[in-house]
Amino acid sequence: MTARLGPHLKASALVLPLVLFLALFFVWPIIAMLKQSVSDPVVHNTLSQTSAIAAQWNGKAPVPAALQDALVADIRATTDRQEMGAVVRRLNSAKSGFRTLMRKTRRAIRKTDGPINLGEVDKRWNEVAWWHTIAQASSPYTDRYLLAALDYGRDKHNQIVALPEDASANRTILARTFVISLSVMLSCLAIGLPFAMVIASTSGWLRNVLLAAVLLPLWTSLLVRTTAWFIILQNNGLINSALQALGITDQPIPLIFERTGVIIAMTHVLLPFMVLPIYSVLLSMPGNLMQAASSLGAHPIVAFLKVMLPLSARGIASGSLLVFMSSIGYYITPALIGGPSDQMISSVIAFYATESANWGMAGALGLVLLSITLLLYVVYGRLSAEKKGVA
Amino acid sequence: MTEQPYIEFRKVSKVFGSLTVVDHLDLTINKGEFVSLLGPSGSGKTTLLMMLAGFEDPTAGDILLGGSVLNRTPPYKRNMGVVFQNYALFPHLSVAENIAFPLKRRGVAKAEIAERVNRVLEMVQLPDQSEKLPSQLSGGQQQRVALARTLVFEPNVVLMDEPLGALDKNLREQMQYDIRRLHRDLGLTIVFVTHDQSEALTMSDRIAVFNHGKIEQIGTPQDIYDRPNTHFVAEFIGETNLIPVKYREGDHSRCSVTTKTGKDLEVTSPVTLFRGTEVLLSLRPEHIELGDSAEGLENAMPARISDVVYQGDHLRADIEVDGTKLVARLGRHLPPHDPGDEVFIGFRPQNARVILP
Amino acid sequence: MFPTVKKAFGILVMLFLIAPLAAILPLAFTSSALLTYPVPEWSMRWLTELVTEPVWRRSIANSLIIGGGTTVLATTLGTLAALGLRRYSSLFAGVLKTFFLLPMVVPAVVLGVGMQVFFVHVGIANSYLGVIVAHTVIAMPFVYVSVSGSLAGIDPRVELAAASLGASPSTVLRTTTLPLSLSGILSGAVMAFATSLDEVILTLFIAGPHQRTLARQMFSTIRENVSPAIAAAAFVFIVGTILVACLIMLVRMRTGGAMQKSVGPGIS
Ligand SMILES: Nc1ncnc2c1ncn2[C@@H]1O[C@H](COP(=O)(O)OP(=O)(O)OP(=O)(O)O)[C@@H](O)[C@H]1O
Ligand SMILES: [Mg+2]
């Protein structure tokens, strides 16, 4: 028995450290991010009595007296200004006007220790809508970030509705991310497919040189490559200087902080991912297929369309998926080369996370990006598994 | 032959999933013996060797070495030298380091290692190559290094799994000769797996013919070749003609059989059978004799030549006897025969053997 | 087929691939404060600034510390796991292998957000440990792929031979398996180091001002005040890459590339 079990135990002991490491520092952070996208603890934690009562309220007027008393008690009990500030921000983001309403209410509560009629402090407390907002915000979980990530929200009847155009731009950004990724993928394909065929048609040192040209950039820092494009694309950079020196333009063509620049730089960065899969498929093909086709009377172009293209379809598909999947999460290149209207979903996530400390939104958009990427990865995995099956 | 066998397999089985690769196998090997395992691909030869070396555990049964059960001894404590088909040299170590490897594991002193490495390199006729990497050697040289690496620590047994399979014909014959010589000079016990029957026939003291995880027959090369016991062995070793006949009568090994057309033939049989039992007669092509008349031929039968092919050192003739097609191997000095010639064939009783179908 | 067109196209694409990298190198030696051509005069000014200016110096030191830590951690974890899984082909092993490669797939920004939240929670945000751990997560797959590739290239019979010659399992590992997978382990280590060196996004999310790496420093320099110092830094990067590539090739050749097929970097 020990002879059977021994090797497995040893193998487990070797694999376990990495599994634990990834569980702790890879899976858990992703779960933490996902949790951020649905958690809304501010109101629930700070206005705890109010939240408890609001959870039982059927939402109909009149507002129960107990709810009003609970709110007063909660406000009175919260001495930490920052904590209360967070509550106010949260409520105000759901319904503007809460900031002034709360300031007024808190001032009134601070003046006395006795019971308070909120309706007298501010007439708005008589309106059910304000209480609805509190009630909605008092659940520890929320779908508002996830909805907002796709430009949806809830109206006052708690129905899911599309947000007004000016309120959010996430769908625009998502569409832009797709457009840029698609453009990068197509330009990689346009350059990469013929280039892979050129490499496959060569041999000896020439092939090695061509392959080195593909691999060298792959092994150069992404940051360096982006920097290089930054230098080249500038208004007084190499391209514009050349164009001006040749008299083609007398004004610099705007390339940097423009969509064109982003696509050029990303194409350069991702081109190897297109070339290599196609090249490896082409390599596994007999070299004389094209000759065979033409000897059978096919025009070179027909031979290409009917023979080469279908046979390399799998390489093209994996290359395209790889490029698309990588570009969809790109951050550095658009951040450095692109203008404000070229920022992709990663930039927006980074903005929410590092600049506006809006973890909910960062998490929700992160979930969207993660789902799309994993979906593409599954398709890609299927594709390469099939490839192995065939070979 | 010593009384106590050196290596003993007792009812050893090996099952992979639902596939029985070695099936209740018994085999004994004496000290100093050269035993070949011969059999078709997938018949379990490598598996048997791997169990002996300790790389695979038997599913059932015991393997004994010098009378004690080996089953739980890990490979590195068995002191058995294994020579693999692709040599399995350490690509990162020089020839000398490869050969020194087993000595280092046994804590042999440095000076002695150097001496023994040199000695064994001379033994396999590879002096002056000790600093090279395996990749810098030819196939035959690598084979010699593998052999040297195995011999240097004076193992109990040397196990070889198709060690010559990757060599060309000339090198192969040279190595066959060298291995024989080392076996004789050093008194090694060798278990030798091969696909190649002529290799097995020329090299071995005994041959075990494998089929489907069982030993069909074990014996000296002459036994196996001249006296195959089963249909499988007769067909697997060399070429043979199998003629369906009925057992008639006999005592000891000599007996007579009846052909389909009712002709009685004098042949040999390993067993005595009931009259009328349907058996096969195995007749090697080279044992068929040819004559213009029945005179001077034992078991003479009229025959017709249907084809003759020149094969260099011999002629190969397709012959029809009573509607049965036979192959004969004829000396090239024989008077020429053409297809269609009517002739007589015959054979000696000791050269035709009854086999159970 | 169309030889001239083919040749012209090949040259153009090569130019597109290589020229940008070549274009950045001379600017490391400009005397001007602008990152533009033509270069008025050659000077070591910016390379000197890299080693004298505290911000750059600090960031280079940080990159070396964090890169070193990442290399050690990622190489250890990845190599152990590759050794553990090498003989398994079950469904479960397949799932594990996919899991180990997943950090390459998950967008860095997504991981960054999660790590920022989680690291604050466990108290390793703004620390060297935090950055090293984060870099290890994304560097480890390279090690795993590279080491399992070189392990797969080892003929199992060589290890059996070692055992039959008297090597215990741990001796087989020490004398045979590890030396034969050394090139894979080294390539993996180099790739782990390179990944850490080049990492910006996770660093952006979880590093404090004291862990600012060279890449992070370059990133903000390009964003805020473009100076030829970034060309100088890029020069260091490129020279480093070429050196490292040569190193890998050397190791490859020394450890008998013929006996091993390998997945990983290098022109093969
Ligand atoms: N580890 C294993 N798992 C499953 N099946 C195995 C394993 N090893 C061997 N087999 C099967 O056992 C059978 C016998 O294999 P073995 O290698 O012993 O044959 P062999 O006689 O050496 O053949 P060959 O002459 O081709 O080397 C084969 O069908 C093989 O597929
Ligand atoms: Mg075998």
Mean predicted confidence (pLDDT) in B153-181 = 87
Closest CA in chain C for residue A22:
C137
Check whether B1 has a pLDDT greater than 70: no
At residue A168, the pLDDT reads: 67
Quote the ipTM score: 0.89
At residue C59, the pLDDT reads: 92
At residue A291, the pLDDT reads: 67
Q: Are residues B167 and B247 in the same domain?
A: no
Closest CA in chain C for residue A192:
C13
What CATH number is attached to the domain comprising B218? 3.40.50.300
Q: Which CATH class is domain C50-263?
A: mainly alpha
**Position A123 confidence tier, pLDDT thresholds 50, 70, 90:** confident
At residue C73, the pLDDT reads: 97
Superfamily of domain A170-390, CATH level 4? MetI-like (1.10.3720.10)
**Most confident residue range from A192-206, B115-129, C60-74:** C60-74
Give me the residue from B78, B86, B106 closest to C155, CB to CB. B86
Percent of chain C whose pLDDT exceeds 90: 57
Average pLDDT, chain C: 87
By DSSP bridging, strand B157-161 and strand B80-83 are parallel
Q: Which SS3 state, helix, strand or coil, does residue B201 take?
A: helix
Average pLDDT, chain A: 86
| Separation of CA B39 and ligand 2 centre (Å) | 10
> Under a CB-based contact definition with an 8 Å cutoff, are residues B101 and C174 in contact?
no
At residue A290, the pLDDT reads: 64
What pTM was computed for the model?
0.83
Check whether C259 has a pLDDT greater than 70: no
Of B187, B208, B232, at which residue does a domain stop? B232
In a domain, B2, yes or no: no
Q: Are residues B154 and B82 in the same domain?
A: yes
Ligand 1 cavity residues, CB under 6 Å:
B 16, 19, 21, 39, 41-47, 195
- Closest ligand 1 atom to Cα of B44: 18
At residue A236, the pLDDT reads: 80
**C chain contacts of residue B84, beta-carbon cutoff 8 Å:** 157, 160-161
Task: Give the Cβ contact number of residue B133 at 10 Å.
Answer: 18
Smallest Cα distance from B346 to chain C, Å: 52
**Most confident residue range from A61-65, B278-282, C1-5:** B278-282
- Closest ligand 1 atom to Cα of B14: 12
Q: Are residues B136 and B32 in the same domain?
A: yes
Average pLDDT, chain B: 89
Locus of tokens 């590195």: B76
Mean predicted confidence (pLDDT) in B322-351 = 84
> Under a CB-based contact definition with an 8 Å cutoff, are residues A336 and C223 in contact?
yes
**Position C262 confidence tier, pLDDT thresholds 50, 70, 90:** very low
Closest CA in chain B for residue C159:
B88
Closest CA to B282 of B217, B333, B332: B217
Of B232, B261, B285, at which residue does a domain stop? B232
From residue A93, alpha-carbon distances to A89, A133, A358 in Å are 6, 10, 12
User: Cα separation of B96 and B102, whole Å?
Assistant: 11
Q: Give partners of B (≥3 CB pairs < 8 A).
A: C
Are C234 and A228 an interchain contact pair (Cβ–Cβ within 8 Å)?
Answer: yes
Smallest Cα distance from A107 to chain C, Å: 35
Query: Which pLDDT tens digit goes with each residue over A185-236?
Result: 999 999 999 999 889 888 888 888 899 889 888 888 888 888 889 888 888 8
- Closest ligand 1 atom to Cα of B45: 21
Tell me how far the alpha carbon of residue A224 is from its chain's centroid.
Answer: 23
Both tokens of residue B275? 């009259």
By DSSP bridging, strand B7-16 and strand B19-29 are antiparallel
Percent of chain B whose pLDDT exceeds 70: 99
Residue count (chain A): 391
| DSSP annotation of C30 | B
Both tokens of residue C3? 């030889």
Strand partners, B175: none
Give the count of domains, chain B: 2
Q: Which SS3 state, helix, strand or coil, does residue A203 take?
A: coil
At residue A294, the pLDDT reads: 67
User: Cα separation of C14 and B264, whole Å?
Assistant: 86
Query: Which pLDDT tens digit goes with each residue over B71-103?
Result: 888 899 889 999 988 889 998 899 999 999 999
| Separation of CA B64 and ligand 1 centre (Å) | 22
Q: Are residues B314 and B176 in the same domain?
A: no
As a whole number of angstroms, the longest Cα–Cα distance in chain B is 77
The backbone torsions φ and ψ at residue B190, rounded to the nearest 5 degrees and listed phi first, read -125, 130
**Interface contact C208, partner B, CB < 8 A:** no
At residue A8, the pLDDT reads: 85
**Position C258 confidence tier, pLDDT thresholds 50, 70, 90:** very low
Q: Which residue has the higher pLDDT, A301 or B233?
A: B233
Closest CA to A319 of A252, A389, A383, A249: A383
What CATH number is attached to the domain comprising B288? 2.40.50.140
Q: Which residue has the higher pLDDT, B113 or A4?
A: B113
Mean predicted confidence (pLDDT) in B13-34 = 93
**Please, what is the angle between helix A204-218 and helix A170-201, to 10°?**
160
Distant-in-sequence, close-in-space partners of B46: CB < 8 Å, separation ≥ 6:
B161, B193
Percent of chain C whose pLDDT exceeds 70: 93
At residue B339, the pLDDT reads: 83
At residue C255, the pLDDT reads: 58
Q: What are the sequence ranges of the domains in chain A?
A: 42-141, 170-390
User: Cα separation of A267 and A283, whole Å?
Assistant: 23
Query: Which pLDDT tens digit goes with each residue over A226-252?
Result: 888 988 888 888 888 888 888 888 888
**B chain contacts of residue C169, beta-carbon cutoff 8 Å:** 74, 76
**Interface contact C152, partner A, CB < 8 A:** no
At residue B3, the pLDDT reads: 63
State which residues form the domain around B289.
Answer: 240-355
Are C258 and B84 an interchain contact pair (Cβ–Cβ within 8 Å)?
Answer: no
Q: Are residues B161 and B306 in the same domain?
A: no
In a domain, B308, yes or no: yes
Amino acid, single-letter form, for residue A327: S
Ranges assigned E (strand) in chain A: 152-154, 160-162
E strand or H helix at B268: strand B264-268
**B chain contacts of residue C171, beta-carbon cutoff 8 Å:** 76, 105
Mean predicted confidence (pLDDT) in B334-344 = 81
**Interface contact C259, partner B, CB < 8 A:** yes
**At CA A169, angle to CA A167 and CA A170, rounded to 5?**
120
**Position C176 confidence tier, pLDDT thresholds 50, 70, 90:** very high
Query: Which pLDDT tens digit goes with each residue over B219-255?
Result: 999 989 888 888 899 888 888 898 889 988 887 778 8
Q: Are residues B149 and B42 in the same domain?
A: yes
Amino acid, single-letter form, for residue A223: L
